[in-house]
Every structure is written in structure tokens, then in C-alpha cells.
Structure 1
Amino acid sequence: MGGVGEPGPREGSAQPGAPLPTFCWEQIRAHDQPGDKWLVIERRVYDISRWAQRHPGGSRLIGHHGAEDATDAFRAFHQDLNFVRKFLQPLLIGELAPEEPSQDGPLNAQLVEDFRALHQAAEDMKLFDASPTFFAFLLGHILAMEAQSWCLQHDLGHASIFKKSRWNHVAQKFVMGQLKGFSAHWWNFRHFQHHAKPNIFHKDPDVTVAPVFLLGESSVEYGKKKRRYLPYNQQHLYFFLIGPPLLTLVNFEVENLAYMLVCMQWADLLWAASFYARFFLSYLPFYGVPGVLLFFVAVRVLESHWFVWITQMNHIPKEIGHEKHRDWASSQLAATCNVEPSLFTNWFSGHLNFQIEHHLFPRMPRHNYSRVAPLVKSLCAKHGLSYEVKPFLTALVDIVRSLKKSGDIWLDAYLHQ
């Protein structure tokens, strides 16, 4: 290949004005190792090996796209692309050779092109512009019903409700820290990985739950290896005991505190401390120490039930497994489904019943999901992709069905393979 030269992963960026070296996918594929990461954005090749540790979204998030075309993920997560490109420029080491396709592997080039056209149409329709009035009313609603504050902090993490991202981040710190007692940095570190690689083991924290629960492909793997740490064929039953009741009370509390201490997020720690101070000082005169502790546990268990059922009804019943290196639209559609909209469902789920639209366009304010949904349905129909919509109760029951199915698959592989 004429003009192809492969500098080492730490030799620096391409020289300004000099012709860019060209690379083929076979060369790029080799650079997906710890400390050696390349990725492709808009047909340009970047060496992020050293810079990944300084990535504002965390090294894991950007590292999950190592040796891939990350163009659609880049556009999905960043609001001001021109601003972000300034950080990418020093990392530029070359570009794809002209004869190379924009995506590696047997991907549907027409689907990628059509999705990018859909993304541009959504931008032209201003569907990524948030309505301050909507979120002002929502904040008032949340201050009256704090259990729903997961929804607002979720939106603040994704969408730019304020014109200045700095104020958006401050608002998220307030809602996440003062109203919920958790770290905004921890939540973004965890949740953005889920959006980047939904339902992918070791990249999506929400499904990397073995050995407590086995989901998707892990069922066969554990069965073949004769691993039996728990009675997985009964996991759909013990799920009710340790899943919804304990996620925020135990798992999130421990993981959140460990993250703040290890990553030295002292500002987030102060925000979280302000929540606990407000909570205990408010109720201590009425209930005493034992009563306040019991009340705190009751609140966490209640919101944990809401969180697990609402967030997982769109994901656990879908495909769960190892990295398939799909294009952005295909990977998001394979891992998500919608729940039939209604006034109650939209309110109760915080519009997360539109999970397909939420995953395809994570920066889009949720009040616009219903407007972009017809365009997404048309895209899916054109390319023969599944656009699954379930009744609300069916979606909840499917969580249990999926756990039972995975447990039965594990038992069959454990006994017979």
C-alpha cells in the first residue's frame, strides 16, 4: 500500500502540513491493548494511548472503542464537536487508506449512512435542544417527590439543559449529591460505559454481574466450566431477595464511596455528606437514631425497586454477550427495547420507556423522544432491524423470564456438556 507507514503508538502526532500516513484496518486492529490504543473518527486515525487517562469521560469509556470506528459514539456523546476536535488534533497520526471502508468488518455501510442522516435530521429539527421550561417544572416536581430525582440527574448527565456545560455539571452535582447522596463523577463513569457498549460483558457495568447472576452468554460459559457459586437455575427467585431491594442500599452505596475515595473526588464527597447531614438532621428530632436509620433503609429499598425494574425491563430481556463490534445503531438496537407509551408510563419511567431513542441519541432531552421515534421506526423498517415495543407489565415480567431462561441454560450446560 503506497504511503503506508506505521509509527509506534507513542511517537506523537502527524506533523502539520505533512501528508498523513495511511493505515489499513489490519494494522489498526493490532492497537487495542492496555497502553496501546488507536481509534478511528471520521476516517482519521488517532493514538489515544497516553491521552486516554486524561479523557474527561474516563479511560475505560474511550478505551472500549479501541481499534474501532468511533465516529458515531463520538457524535453521540459530545455536544460541541469543534471544541472536542481541538483535543484530538495533537493525537492525529494518520488516516484510513482511500480503498479502506470507513468501518471494519462486515458492517452494513448503508445502515451507517442512513443513521448518520437520521442524526443530522434530528439536529436540524432541534431535537437536541432542551426546553428550560420542561426541566424547571421537573425540578419543582422532584423537590416534592425526591424519589424521582434519579430522572433529573440522569438528564443532567446526558443532555445540556443549560447553555453552558459548566452549569449543567454543577446542576448535576447538586441533584446527584444533595438530593441523592451519590457522586456525579461516579455515576457518569458507570453510566456512560453502559451507553457506549450496552449489554457487553466487561464493558457495560450493568450486565457484568457474574457470579451473582448469569445473563446471556455467561450462562453457557459457566455451565461448560462447571462453575456453581450459586444455584443459578433458581436465580429468578433469589433475584427478588438481593436484586431490586439491595442495589442502591448496598451495591451503589459501597461502589460510590469507594470511587470517591480512590479517585479523590473530594467535592463529590462533600456534596454526598450534605445529603446525609440534611437527611439525618431533618428526621432525627422526630424518630431518633434507630428510627432515622430504619427510614433511610426504607427509602433506599423503595427507590432501588423502582430503579431496577424501570431500567432493566429494557435491557435484561435483550441480547447480552461479548463484544460483536457492530455499528452504533445496530449495537444499541440489539440491546434495547421500548415500552408502550402512556401518560402513566411516561411519568413513572421518566420517559425511559423510550429506551431505543435514548440509547441512539443519549444527548437528546427526553421530552423529544416521541418526536424522533417515527424516524427511528422508519430506519429500522428500511434495514429490517427489530424495533421492539412491549406492554409495561410484559416488560417487567420479561426480566424474570430472562433470568429463568439463563438459569435453565446454565443448568443444561452444567449437567450435559
Structure 2
Amino acid sequence: METIKFVRENKKEREFAFEVRKRVRAYFKDNNKSIYGNYTMYLKSVVILCIYIVPFIILLTTPVSAWTALGLAIIMGIGEAGVGMSIMHDGVHHAYSSKKWVNDLASSTMFLLGSNIFNWKIQHNIKHHTFTNIFNYDPDISNLKIIRLCEYGPLKKYHRYQHFYAFPLYGLMTFARLFGEIGVLLEYNKKGITEEQNVDPTWQLIKLIAIKIVYFAVIIGLPLYFTDFAFWQILIGFIALHITAGMIMSTVFQMAHVVEGTHQLLADKDQQIKNDWLVHQLNTTSDFGRRNGLFSWYIGGLDFQIEHHIFQNICHVHYPAIASIIKATAEEYGFTYNLKPNVFSALASHFRRLKELGKIKPPTSLPNLATVQ
């Protein structure tokens, strides 16, 4: 797997990285707190799993109208997105619990989305978190064609309208993963990435195919067997479920990295980024809001993306507490802490950034990284 080297430009970057880690560690030590999940995390997991599973049980056991069934499918989509953001996400980052088997159990909720854990770890944990907003390395901004999420990507005429059509297309996110994962895994196998992770390529492919078969047998097969709905009606519910989940998750993810104030970069000819890795995360990530209440609870603290990117092994229930520490330390050392006031301002900023990316031509030279501070 190709890699990039992060090179500190000055002493201040090293001192900041050391100090912010020291202060966050001190917070947990002084308050006798674990960095992992607590009872609130476990309670949340039960509630969100119920949002996904209970409507499905009702569909299978109780005669309901087609419109009611559609509403239940949409609620399942809300639950599916919540499972991905609030349970699976922490599990895959080994932040849910200090116990490996509990993290594995939380990670396995990915199966409820018809997806596998391995692909997500490569795409998200390794590529996205290591090479955040670096074109051709971070797949979250590099792989889409019809939507231009990075200023270094090729500009097409139709991109000028993307700030209008992008949001409906975000609803296809879970479909793309559901039906495209096998191709992605085959590509990982071909490039040797699977073996680099000490995973058997053939066995991983067999597991992924088995996951897909079981998922479709449950999500499509059980309603066909236990309800009186026609196949086309079940298919509409299936589509509604995934469009709901996809639109929620995609939009939340974009509001952290493709907004005004976050930087997008190219590696230089030596495959280097002239910043400390931790400073790079500050430059390329944005928080949105501090008092989002129920919404923050639901999205797994992903409105605290700076905290998540710097300390991805800390459970998201602690992000509000450490956010003030990180912000104060960044400002003390003269680094920008990107913060949008609330969800709506972040959404508006993403809309404006999409509009901008639909017009500006790719830069002809690398940015002056000395100014990205």
C-alpha cells in the first residue's frame, strides 16, 4: 500500500502535538475516567439497534398498510445510519470498549448494513484517517466522478450544478457499498493490500459473499415469506431504507471535511506533506456545533470530527469534554481550530463549497503549506 510521510515544518508543530496529547491524557487520569464507552454508550447502542430492528419485526409480524410499511422502512433507514455512526464506527476504531471481543461485537453490526468490516477498515481507518483530504489517497474525496469533492479532481461541465444534485446522490452511498464491495475487495486482493493486513484474500472474499447472501435472504426474503406484500412493494421499502441511511451518513461525513476552511492537499514529488500529522488533521477537519443535543447523540459525536480524527481510539461519548482542551491548545499555539456554529451553518458551508468546487479549475501547483496553519 502506498504511503505518505508527514514532515514537521517547525518546532511549534511538535510542541503542540506533544502538549495536546498530554493534556487530554491528563483529563482522563485526573477525572479517573476510561477513554472507552460507559453505560451511556451501552444504553445508546440498545436504543439505536431497536430503531433499526423493531420496525422490521413489526413488518414481519403485524399486518400493516403499504404506507405504514414504507414509514417503517424509513425508520429502519434512520436506525441503520445510527448503527453505522454510533455503534459500528466506535467498534472498528477499538474505542467502544477496552475488551477486544466487545469491540468486535460492536464492529459486527456492520453486517446489519450488508457490509463487511475489512473493507471499511481499509477505506476508513487506514486510508481516510491517515491521509485525510489528500487527493488520490483519501478515498472519501478522490473516488467519486459525478460529484467533485476535491479541487484537484478533474472538472467537468456538469459539476457546475453539483450543489443541487449532490444531496440526492448521497442517498446512493449504502447502495454503492452494498453492491460495489466485492469489486473493491477484488481490487485490494489484486494490489496485495489484503495480504499486507495478514488476511487471507480468498477467505475474505468467501466471507463477503456469504454476508451478502444472508443479508438479502433476511431483508428481502423474510418479508416475502412472512408478509402479503408483493416483491415490488418490498423492493420499494428496501430502496427507501437505503436512500434514507445513505443520505444521512453521507451528508454528515461531508460536513466535516468538504466545507469552507478545511484544506485539500496533494503530496509533493517526494510523497511528503509538510505538516505534523496532528496539525494536518486540524487543517483538514471541521467540527460543527457544540450543542446539537439529540442530533449529536444520534450521529455518534461526528459533529466533533476534530476530536475523532486526533483521538480516534477514544469513545465518542467523551468528545464534548475534550473538545475545549483541544480548541484551547490549538489557539494557544496559533493553529486554526475549524468550527462551524451549528449543523445548519455546516450544511450551508458544504453547499457553498460544492458550488465552488463545481467551478474552480484544478490548481497547477502545490499549495503553500506554510500558510495552512
Deviations 1:19-75 (A, max 9, x none): xxxxxxxxxxxxxxxxxxxxxxxxxxxxxxxxxxxxxxxxx3xx424x55xxxxxxx
**Equivalent residue for 1:254?**
179
2:47 matches 1:141: yes
Structure 2 counterpart of 1:276, from 213, 216, 221: 216
Matched-pair identity in % = 23
C-alpha displacement of 1:137 = 1.1
Q: Within 5 Å, give how 1:206-285 maps onto structure 2.
A: 206-209=140-143, 211-218=145-152, 222=154, 228=156, 230-242=157-169, 244-249=170-175, 251-260=176-185, 263-264=201-202, 265=204, 266-284=206-224, 285=227
Structure 1 or 2: more helix by fraction: 2
User: Do the aligned residues in 2 keep the contact of 1:162 with 1:168 (CA within 8 Å)?
Assistant: yes
- Superposed CA deviations along residues 256-282 of structure 1, whole A, max 9, x for unmatched, are 232455543133443343322221233
Whether 1:314 aligns to 2:256 is yes
Question: How many Å separate the matches in 2 of 1:162 and 1:405?
Answer: 41
2: CA distance between counterparts of 1:287 and 1:366?
40
Alignment of 1:80-99 (within 5 A): none
Superposed, 1:195-206 pairs within 5 Å as 195-206=129-140
| In structure 2, C-alpha distance between the alignment counterparts of 1:307 and 1:345, rounded to whole Å | 12
Query: Within the alignment, does 1:375 sit opposite 2:325 as a pair?
Result: yes
Counterpart code for 2:22: A
CA contact (8 A) 1:313 1:399 kept: yes
The counterpart of 2:29, out of the listed 121, 124, 135, is 124
Query: Are residues 395 and 209 of structure 1, via their aligned partners in 2, closer, same or farther at CA, if it must alter by over 3 Å?
Result: same
Within 5 A, what are the aligned runs for 1:67-78? 67-68=5-6
Match of 2:314 in 1: 364
Q: Of residues 325, 345, 353 in structure 2, which corresponds to 1:402? A: 353
The alignment partner of 1:408 has SS state of: coil
Q: Does the 8 Å contact 1:118/1:375 carry over to 2? A: yes
CA distance in 2 between counterparts of 1:389 and 1:197 reads 21
Of residues 221, 233, 236, the one that matches 1:291 is 233
Q: Highest Rg: 1 or 2? A: 1
Q: 1:202–1:208: 8 Å Cα contact kept in structure 2?
A: yes
Shift of 1:131: 3.0
- Equivalent residue letter for 2:129: H
Q: Aligned-pair distance for 1:166?
A: 4.0
Contact 1:260 1:269 in 2 (8 A): no
User: Do the aligned partners of 1:339 and 1:354 also contact (CA within 8 Å) in 2?
Assistant: yes
Q: How far, CA to CA, are the matches of 1:311 and 1:349 in structure 2? A: 10
For 1:234 and 1:198, the matched residues in 2 are separated by 26
1:200/1:127 Cα in 2 relative to 1: closer, same or farther (>3 Å)?
A: farther
Structure 2 residue runs without a partner (length 5+): 53-78, 190-200, 268-272, 365-373
Q: Distance in 2 between matches of 1:300 and 1:206?
A: 19
> Of the two structures, which has the highest relative contact order with CA contacts closer than 8 Å and spacing of 6 or more?
2
One-letter amino acid of the structure 2 residue matched with residue 217 of structure 1: E
- Structure 2: how far apart are the matches of 1:313 and 1:128? 29
- For 1:1-40, list aligned pairs within 5 A: none
- Which stretch shifts more, 257-266 or 388-397? 257-266
Residue 180 of structure 1: aligned partner:
113
Deviates more, 1:273-282 or 1:143-152: 273-282
Q: Secondary structure at the match of 2:46?
A: helix
- Match of 1:202, SS? coil
Cα distance in 1 for residues equivalent to 2:113 and 2:152: 33
The residue identity in structure 2 corresponding to 1:231 is Y
Partner Cα distance (2:96, 2:358) in 1: 42
Please name the residue that 1:325 is paired with. 274
Pick aligned residue for 1:157 from 92, 96, 101: 92
Structure 1 runs not aligned, ≥5 long: 1-59, 69-102
Q: What secondary structure does 2:39 align onto?
A: helix
Kindly state the Cα deviation for residue 217 of structure 1 after the two structures are TM-superposed.
3.1
In the alignment, is the contact (CA less than 8 A) between 1:336 and 1:355 conserved in 2? yes
The change in CA–CA distance for 1:398 and 1:367 in structure 2 (over 3 A counts) is same
Deviates more, 1:255-264 or 1:350-359: 255-264
Q: Residues 120 and 344 of structure 1: is their aligned pair in 2 closer, same or farther, counting only changes over 3 Å?
A: closer
CA contact (8 A) 2:94 2:313 kept: yes
Which SS does the other structure have where 2:171 is aligned? coil
- Judged with a 3 Å threshold, the aligned counterparts in structure 2 of structure 1 residues 286 and 339 are, in CA distance, closer, same or farther, namely farther
1:123 Cα deviation after fit: 5.4
Cα deviation digits, residues 5-28 of structure 1 (max 9, x gap):
xxxxxxxxxxxxxxxxxxxxxxxx
CA spacing shift, 1:104–1:344, aligned 2, 3 Å? closer
User: For residue 241 of structure 2, what is the amino acid of its counterpart?
Assistant: V
Contact 1:248 1:300 in 2 (8 A): yes
| Residue pair 2:96, 2:106 contacting (<8 A) in 1 also | no
Q: Say if 2:256 and 2:285, in contact at 8 Å, map to a contact too.
A: yes
Deviation at 1:407, TM superposition (A): 1.7
Paired letter, 2:322:
V
Q: Give the deviation of 1:364 after TM superposition.
A: 0.6
Change (3 A) 1:181 1:196: same
Letter in 1 for 2:92: G
User: What is the distance in 1 between the residues matched to 2:358 and 2:172?
Assistant: 21
Alignment length (residue pairs): 306
Could you say what the CA RMSD is over the residues aligned between the two structures, in angstroms? 2.5
